[in-house]
Structure formats: C-alpha cells, structure tokens
Amino acid sequence: MEFNTLAITAATNDEAQEAEKRLKAQYDHVAPEDADVVVALGGDGFMLETLHQFMDSKKPIFGINRGSVGFLMNEYQDNNLHERIAKAKPVELHPLRMTATDISGQEHTALAVNEVSLLRETRLAAKIRVLVDGIVRVEEMICDGVLVSTPAGSTAYNLSAHGPIIPIGAGLLALTPISVFRPRRLTAALLPQSSTVVFEVITPEHRSVSAVADFTEVRDVVRVQVQESESFTPTLLFDPEHNLEERIIHEQFIS
C-alpha cells in the first residue's frame, strides 16, 4: 500500500508531543486535509478522537503508541516510517450509529467506534427495556447500565463489564449488561452485526439515564436506538506482525 504524503498529529501528553517534534523534523509532512494518511501519536483515546475527526474524509490512520494502553496503536519507532506504512495491513472498522431521544423529546445522533453505553445518573438503579430487531428481549433490566460493543471495542469497556471478546470480521456485536441485578442470570449476548437494538428507559423521570457513544454523552434519555452505520467505515493501518486481529485473539489468552 503506497501513500505519497502524510500528516502527523499528536495527543497533548508530553510523550506524544516530544515524538511529534522528532517525527516532523525527520519526515516531510503536510496538513491533515492534504495528506494521504494520518499518523496519530498517542493512546487509544486519542486514536478514537482521530478516527472521529477524519471519519468523513476516509483517510486511513496509522497510530503509534505514545500513550498508556495503545491497543489500537502500533509500536513506537523513529525510523522507516514510510516503509512501515507502505507494508501496513488495513483494517476496516464498522462504527455504530446512536440515535438518542431525551426526556424533552429532542433527538441526538452520534457515532461510536468502540461502544454505545447507557449508564444510570443517580443512586437509583436504571430500569431498561431491551428490544432487538423490534422484539422485546428483556422486559425490564434492573442494572447500572448496558452497552453495545463493536469487535474493535470489545476489549475495552465491554471486556471490563465481562462481555465477550469478538474477533474482527466476525460480523457480530456484543450486548453486555453492566452490574445487572435483575434478571439474575442475564449475561452478555452476541448479535448479528446487522441488528437494530433499542433501549427504552422505564420511569426516566425518577431513574435518569445517560447514553454515551464513545465520548459523546446525551443526558436524561428515554429511548436509544443503536445500529451499524453504513455511511462511515474508517480504516486503521497496522504493522503486519502486530495487527489488530492478532491482538484481539491474543487478548483472550492472557491473564
């Protein structure tokens, strides 16, 4: 894969800023809007920001870890950047589209590369009805919240909530309760990627719930619809020996 021009962006932490200075001094670079590929220096949070920033442009992103976890990033090296990018393997992501209606009736939309999560806002547990493709699957879930995760996000919040890790390309989503109290035996479910999930908040005036798509939050929601976005398919670039699919498989076997 050949790219003629690259842009270099960085998170605000010191490690990322120092790396940005070194790479910009070493390689020719252009503004992001003029680049064939965007090099993102930081951690997974910065990668999510970068993916959202360039979602419309469809520019591929080559992430380099200058943050903490760096699950969506490649290892940091100063040398052979053009060669690494030329040999990189593309991974196409399929974000979710959240359509959330708040208690005043206003509708909000946002995209999520990782997950859409509903979370209680107060000391009271949330009560949420769950529908999948128009069929009520859970009449009343009493919980701290619930989320729908993509394969790319399945090793993030979803994994912390004891949801399943999903290989890239599996064509699945994870629907994972968060600290569920009732039904007692309710666990995470795997759904076809084409599914439409609707969450209805029961008594939202007393048990207020927020909805979050990656880092976009909508407060006091009454209804949230989640489905795959067909308009946006961002592309990540990974070193062949350290690709995202392998990382997700590896994650299932570490303690």
CA separation, residue 96 to residues 68, 81, 153, 251 (Å): 25, 31, 11, 23
Point out the catalytic residue in the list 28, 44, 102, 239. Answer: 44
How many C-beta atoms lie closer than 10 Å to residue 234's C-beta? 23
Q: What is the residue type of 11?
A: A
Nearest in space to 101 (alpha carbons), one of 228, 218, 216 = 218
Q: Looking up tokens 């919980």, which residue turns up?
A: 143
The yes-or-no answer on residue 144 being catalytic is no
Distance, CA of 99 to chain centre: 16
Return d(Cα 33, Cα 186) in angstroms, integer.
46
Catalytic center residues: 44
